[in-house]
Copies of this chain bind each other. A is one copy, B any other.
Amino acid sequence: MPERVRAAMVRQAINHRGQEFSTVYGDCVRVLREAFGTRNDLFVVSGSGTAAMEAAVGNFGRGRKIACLVNGKFGERLYKISQRYGSAVEVASPWGTPLDLGRLEEALEGGAEMVTLVHNETSAGIKNPAQKVGGLCRKYDALFVMDGITSVGGDEVRADEWGADVVVVGSQKCLAAPAGLSAISVSGRAWERMTEPRPFYLDLAAYRKSAAGKLMETPYTPAVPLFLALREACLIMEEEGLQARVARHRRLADAVRAAAGAWGLPLFPCLDADHAYSNTATAISYPPGIDDSAFRGTIKKMGIEIAGGQDHLKGKIFRIGTMGAVSAPEVLATLAAVQFALARHGFKQKGDGVMAAAEVLG
């Protein structure tokens, strides 16, 4: 997190029913709408991305037939949430492989009224075809719920153009704010299709009412310091410019991919023409014989943390994040540490990944 963002939290509490809080909330909404690519209503929730995912399903999916696209951990989470509220069908592919849009269309023909999609599946490093899924949702008049938790603010998101009715983001990913907040946008089409009964803390009707008064408020006490930090992070995004920010994320991810290519290590995702590598998290397959925790331990000794695989991908992949405030020097340092650790743990690299990355960044 940038220093400005962290410093914004130090001040004394402000009244969350006053003008100043209203301005803070309004600043967040203005910038986030641009990052979402939406003119829809947008609210900030005091809870992590999972809370916003639940708000999406819990306000619009109760009792509905829900088709859940799954090719990674967070797609699975949306499926698990959907099971608690509606009649959920999992349209699953192995993690990191293309979604089966044919089976999605069958589910829509079979009466699915809502579709859930993770736009950028960091668990497997794959970016899913949100626009295509949106087109299918429109064709069959289904609501489109999109998890943009790790894409909004770091990659191109065009919620309105893609027909994404409900979109969510988490504060601690590409927005580079502290963890603990999330945001959710809601289209007119979604408002018309609200379901009941809804959760209470996450009831979006209450959020709408509280945001529509003379002052923008939240229905329940918000996490005030986190709002102050998110506002600062939003102002930084505005100063950088959204296009420049997306280009920076892409360039950093390109550099990581170039390094992997030079080392001779395959990227984990299997792509087709509709899917792409994630620009905010790159998943790289381990070469045979490298122990995940020893490898990451070597890197951690140099003060750098990279992620392993989650659930059944533990030990099979490692992941390098390029989201939020990450900069070229940090990526170079990370790749240098990875390159050292690969050699130390016995992998014979084809070429110099660090220099390949520098070529992209230089």
Contact = CB atoms under 8 A, between A and B. Distances in A.
A303 to B, nearest CB: 12
A178 B220 contact: no
B9 A6 contact: yes
A179 B223 contact: yes
A172 B20 CA distance: 19
Contacts of A198: 84
B84 A220 contact: no
A50 B224 contact: no
A92 to B, nearest CB: 19
A180 B48 CA distance: 11
A40 to B, nearest CB: 22
Interface in A1-51: 1, 6-7, 9-13, 15-16, 46-51
A253 to B, nearest CB: 21
Interface stretch (A116-124, A199-207, A283-291, A326-334): A199-207
Contacts of A200: 50, 54, 80-81, 84
Nearest to A57: B200
Complex copy number for this chain: 2
A13 B54 contact: no
A266 interface: no
Nearest to A6: B10
Contacts of A9: 6, 9-10, 178, 225
Nearest to A198: B84
Given A197-B84, A202-B201, A13 B178 contact: yes
Contact of A13 (B49, B179, B221, B222): B179
Contacts of A15: 305
Interface in A177-198: 178-181, 197-198
A347 B57 CA distance: 54
Given A48-B46, A54-B201, A81-B200, A223 B6 contact: no
Contacts of A1: 12-13
A180 B12 contact: no
Contact of A226 (B50, B180, B202, B220): B180
A17 to B, nearest CB: 10
Contacts of A134: none
A47 B11 CA distance: 20
Given A46-B48, A50-B201, A84-B200, A180 B224 contact: yes
Contacts of A84: 197-200
A170 B199 CA distance: 19
Most buried by B among A16, A179, A224: A179
A229 interface: yes
Contacts of A6: 9-12, 225
A10 B10 contact: yes
19 contacts: A9-B178, A9-B225, A13-B172, A46-B46, A46-B223, A47-B51, A47-B201, A49-B221, A50-B220, A51-B220, A84-B199, A84-B200, A172-B221, A172-B224, A178-B223, A179-B221, A180-B224, A181-B223, A225-B229
Given A1-B12, A6-B9, A9-B9, 7 more contacts: A58-B199, A80-B200, A172-B224, A179-B224, A180-B222, A180-B223, A225-B229
